[in-house]
Amino acid sequence: QFGGKEVLEGAIPAVLERDLAALEVLFDVKEAEVLVQEKASSKLLCRHPYPSISCVGRCTWSPRIFAFCVVSSPESPDGSTFDCLVFASSSEQECEEIIGRIAAGFKHTEWFV
Domains and CATH numbers, the chain: 5-109 (2.30.29.30)
Q: Give Cβ neighbours of residue 4 (< 8 Å, ≥ 6 apart).
A: 54, 55
Instruction: Report, as an integer, the average pLDDT of 6-19.
Output: 85
pLDDT-based confidence at 111, cuts 50/70/90? very low
Question: Would you state the pLDDT for residue 24?
Answer: 93
pLDDT digit string, tens, across residues 14-43: 888 998 888 899 989 998 999 999 999 999
User: 107-112 long-range contacts, Cβ below 8 Å, gap at least 24?
Assistant: 108/50, 109/32, 109/49, 109/50, 109/51, 110/50
